[in-house]
Amino acid sequence: MVDVTDATFEAEILFRSDELPVVVDLWAPWCGPCRTLGPIIEKVVDETEGQVVLAKVNTDESPGISQLFDVQGIPAVHAVHKRKVV
């Protein structure tokens, strides 16, 4: 799992997606459903034993990434592979 910010988006999500699928979990600390869903996503990604990367994005701290994914509400989860949302 990697915490991603607007500044690290390109390296942590786009470039990594060239090698492995990246699950992007967009969340905020005040969001109850986010706090419920987050550990479930973490567990499922851990079970892939390194075949999938989990990128956690705090939408309060990184609003630019939310705009890129056109997030209308959270939690929001996207998968990126080969630099494309799949």
**DSSP annotation of 56:** E
Active site (annotated) includes residue 75: no
Active site (annotated) includes residue 34: yes
Catalytic hit among 2, 31, 37, 68? 31
Measuring CA to CA, how many Å separate 66 from each of 27, 43, 44, 60?
A: 10, 23, 23, 9
Catalytic hit among 22, 34, 53, 57? 34
Helices and strands (DSSP H and E) totals, the chain:
4, 5
Grouping H, G, I as helix, E, B as strand and the rest as coil, residue 58 is: strand
Catalytic residue numbers, as ranges: 31, 34
